[in-house]
Amino acid sequence: MISFICGQVADTTENSVIIETGGIGYEVFMTGTAIEQAVRMEGKVKVHTYFHVREDAMQLYGFWNKDDLQMFRLLLGVNGIGPKAALGVLAGLTSDELRFAVLSDDVKALSKAPGIGKKTAQKLILELKDKLKLEDAFEKKLAHEQEAAVLAGADFHDGRQEAVEALTALGYSSSEALKAVRRVTDVDPGDVEAILKAALKQL
């Protein structure tokens, strides 16, 4: 029903981020790491969401990228795993680590996630293994490593790095964001908003 929300980070709580858009503040439950990222963000952000409805509540769960959302959906397909447990797994393991843990029968790694015991970890492996492919896992891991390397290679010590982070939060890939920001040369390096506007024109 709600596939993503694009707006300003208005506030954060221990377990969620409040995204304001159109005069409404949406509470989106996220992992601790994702919430920490939200605190540092300025300007508009894009959060990919899962809308969970039950008899006594309607809740939004959010992720900075579609890959994490996809893994969250897969986890929900496992019998006995609810949204909080699925979010707990992704708080303890990245999507790449989760895929490799399942494909390599690594019960120990899965058991490290909050609220996941040995039996639940075995169930995760049993139910998810047929839905994951080793080739895809390697391809996605490589893509993520390349994006991280591109960002790490950006020797920015001013507003340009913040602009790159803001663009990736809007849904652009790290390499797209970096290229666009590097093309911006006639703007004050400390003016993040001006750099962002100029980079968006490039995109």
Q: Which domain range does residue 196 map to?
A: 139-202
Average the pLDDT over each of 65-79, 87-101, 108-122 and give the range with the smallest value. Answer: 108-122
- Based on the domain organization, do 174 and 193 belong to the same domain? yes
Q: HEC states along 36-100? A: HHHHHCCCEEEEEEEEEEECCEEEEEEECCHHHHHHHHHHHCCCCCCHHHHHHHHHHCCHHHHHH
Pairing of strands 57-63, 24-29: parallel
For residue 189, the model assigns a pLDDT of 77
DSSP bridge partners of 4 = 48
Q: How many domains does the chain have?
A: 3
- Based on the domain organization, do 144 and 196 belong to the same domain? yes
- Based on the domain organization, do 170 and 127 belong to the same domain? no
User: Would you state the structure tokens that stand for residue 23, as one six-digit string?
Assistant: 């005069």
- Using an 8 Å Cβ cutoff, are 125 and 74 in contact? no
State the Cα–Cα distance between residues 99 and 1, nearest whole angstrom. Answer: 27
State the Cα–Cα distance between residues 188 and 203, nearest whole angstrom. Answer: 19
- Based on the domain organization, do 149 and 120 belong to the same domain? no
Does residue 95 carry a pLDDT above 80?
Answer: yes
What would the pLDDT profile of 160-186 be if each residue is shown by its tens digit? 778 888 888 888 877 778 878 888 888
Domain boundary among 132, 167, 188: 132
Domain boundary among 132, 155, 184: 132
Q: Assign residue 11 the CATH number of its domain.
A: 2.40.50.140
The reported pTM is 0.73
Taking alpha carbons only, the member of 189, 177, 113, 124 closest to residue 148 is 177
State the Cα–Cα distance between residues 104 and 129, nearest whole angstrom. Answer: 9
Of 80 and 156, more confident? 80
- Based on the domain organization, do 70 and 109 belong to the same domain? yes
Taking alpha carbons only, the member of 52, 76, 49, 77 closest to residue 64 is 49
Does residue 200 carry a pLDDT above 80?
Answer: yes
User: Would you state the structure tokens that stand for residue 151, as one six-digit string?
Assistant: 């960002």
In three-state secondary structure terms, 16 is: strand
- Based on the domain organization, do 126 and 167 belong to the same domain? no
Q: Assign residue 115 the CATH number of its domain.
A: 1.10.150.20
Taking alpha carbons only, the member of 71, 197, 94, 89 closest to residue 148 is 94
What would the pLDDT profile of 35-73 be if each residue is shown by its tens digit? 998 888 878 899 999 999 989 989 999 999 999 999 999
For residue 150, the model assigns a pLDDT of 67
